[in-house]
Homo-oligomer: A and B are copies of this chain.
Amino acid sequence: MGDRQPTVEDVARLAGVSRQTVSNVLNAPEIVRAPTRARVEAAIVQLRYAPSMAARRLRTRRSATIGIHLDPYAGGISGIVLDRFVHALTERATPRGLRLLVYAAADPAEEIRRIRQLREGAEIDSIVLTGTFKGDPRAEWLVEHAVPFVAFGRPWGDPGDGIQMGDPTRPWVDVDGAAGTRAATRHALEAGGEVVFLGWPSGSGTGDDRERGWRETMGFGPQDRPDLRWTSLDSVAEARAVTERALDGASVDAIVCASDTLALGAHLAASHAGRPDLVVVGFDNTPVAEALGISSVEQRPERVAEAVLDLLMDETGTDAAPRHRLIEPQLVLRTAGGV
């Protein structure tokens, strides 16, 4: 093509689709099947097809630049999940002609001020919310000010199973934690019937959801077998101490954990108690689980990122097509390295 600017025809030819399909990807991506859309987006990137024009078209729909809050680094083993999500969002936003702007804020009120400033300066068109919680004022504010957003994390305010499916004004994507601990518990049951759940104190939506997967798979009601429900704050040292105390004299075949931090504590305690092969399953599939050979539930933040962008670019959601996605996590099996 020499120095000629690439055209829609060039993109269509390279992607092996019609002009109309390319146009749809630019203007109504939700009606294009995902594999086709990916092919067209790849062709757009490869040809460097008028990216600013593509961005401008998308902008008329919305979201040429997405804002996302980055928490201060707080240490900890599982913080990496959110970082992986931001990485994945960045990778997937770029070929869609979208930009990602990151900002800092110490609390929800400051985040709202920050979002207002960014909107006033026309620096962002939409928001990806993370770290949502019950009664989150940010979601209220965004709805009230008609700022398009998608949350990573479902609202936990509802009664019942905590999954609020009905409100198309508050789109969210979340990982199905209970499905993850169901898979973990099914695997753990291969080692024997006495499967412990080592979780956080009750009351957090995420923690209660992960406990539910274990409870359902074990066939337990809320009051059954309290001896198999251990509790620890998300600390390696405390999880280790709790496990050491509770293992002593108890008949335990496996421990399913709400996080890799808890799993590491349980694994160290089991090794110390002369049971290095006790089945321990973590959650989040962090580098530490990988390094120590601890099985763990992988959240697949790349799929979360894909779904967030799909919802952000799709304004057609109705009650009939709820703007929510639950991502199925994946159990990664490993053999402990015999620490």
Contact = CB atoms under 8 A, between A and B. Distances in A.
A76 interface: yes
A339 interface: yes
A113 interface: yes
Nearest to A302: B73
A79 interface: yes
Interface in A89-114: 90-91, 93-94, 99-105, 113-114
A72 B80 CA distance: 13
Contact of A287 (B75, B84, B87, B339): B75
A296 interface: no
A52 B120 contact: yes
A236 B291 contact: yes
A271 interface: yes
A71 interface: yes
A77 B272 contact: no
A216 interface: no
A91 B104 contact: yes
Contacts of A123: 65, 99
A277 to B, nearest CB: 14
A121 interface: yes
A102 B73 contact: no
Interface of A: 48, 51-52, 55, 65, 70-73, 75-77, 79-80, 83-84, 86-88, 90-91, 93-94, 99-105, 113-114, 117-118, 120-121, 123, 236-237, 240, 261, 264, 268, 271-272, 287-288, 290-292, 337-339
